């Protein structure tokens, strides 16, 4: 097993977030001026850095909807899913050529069993987690595409 690890070290793998990555600090992010849009942009910037002189522009739109998940016999909703969809397009900053695009969906949940304030806090937290999850999906896709992007 130790020999396998030594061989793996010499195979040419490089860390994705190393100093020489093509994406770190190279993408300008554009999202809607909404709370989920802000959180999405914030997470993308955390993961890929803020661009001073971007090579690429990523435009993303996030939407979400609530769906009842657990309803009591008296008709009260006790749990909700927040389903989010993000649609994004990566373009070259100077030519405007579309390089990649995608549409991804995921969900988070929250309980509505406490007070009104607790339920609102849980909903706010769920939408924040949703934005982070969608941003992470975009980053994963971009990292797969990075070697093929024009420089």
pLDDT of 16-28, one tens digit each? 554 446 789 999 9
- Ranges of each domain in the chain: 22-148
Among candidate residues 42, 24, 45, the one with its CA nearest the CA of residue 33:
42
User: What's the rounded Cα separation, in Å, for the pair 126 and 120?
Assistant: 10
**pLDDT score at 76:** 74
User: What's the rounded Cα separation, in Å, for the pair 123 and 84?
Assistant: 13
**pLDDT score at 23:** 87
Which CATH number fits the domain 22-148, given the four candidates 2.40.40.20, 3.60.15.10, 3.30.160.150, 3.40.50.720?
3.30.160.150
**What's the predicted TM-score (pTM) here?**
0.81
Range 97-122 average pLDDT: 92
């Amino acid at each position: 097993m130790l020999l396998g690890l030594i061989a793996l070290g010499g195979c040419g793998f490089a860390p994705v977030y190393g100093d020489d990555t093509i994406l770190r600090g190279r993408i300008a992010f554009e999202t809607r001026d909404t709370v989920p849009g802000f959180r999405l942009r914030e997470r993308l910037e955390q993961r890929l850095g803020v661009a001073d002189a971007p090579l690429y522009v990523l435009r993303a739109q996030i939407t979400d909807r609530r769906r009842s998940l657990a309803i009591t016999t008296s008709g009260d909703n006790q749990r909700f899913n927040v389903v989010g969809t993000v649609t994004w397009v990566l373009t070259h900053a100077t030519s405007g050529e579309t390089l990649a695009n995608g549409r991804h969906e995921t969900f988070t949940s929250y309980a509505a069993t406490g007070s009104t304030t607790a339920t609102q806090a849980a909903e706010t937290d769920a939408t924040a987690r949703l934005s982070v999850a969608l941003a992470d999906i975009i980053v994963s896709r971009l990292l797969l595409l990075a070697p093929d992007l024009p420089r």
